[in-house]
Structure 1
């Protein structure tokens, strides 16, 4: 599996675009809450996604 790296400026632009049509929380690295949001139940998995989107409504998913 390959990994794509996106710079912080592009990540922030992507998050801003997503926020316009998304009712949930949208986080990028460095924002308050990002580290808590990226932590999952299995502590052996340590991923740092470019953007984290916390879905709230069905429209956020569909």
Structure 2
């Protein structure tokens, strides 16, 4: 698989993460949204998705 596939996968993970945070009722600042949407590492995004299940704020994803 090429780099384009990885970027597409990362974009899907980022979108899913933002949807998940929204569903939990967590406010996502522009800074957090930018950090999520500019991340192209699918493994990092998956880590953040897992953390999103238990954090108290979107900023806590990065702690």
The bucket for the TM-score relative to the shorter chain is 0.3 to 0.5
Higher strand proportion (structure 1 or 2): 1
Instruction: From the CA coordinates, give the structure whose radius of gyration is larger.
Output: 1
TM-score w.r.t. structure 1 length?
A: 0.35
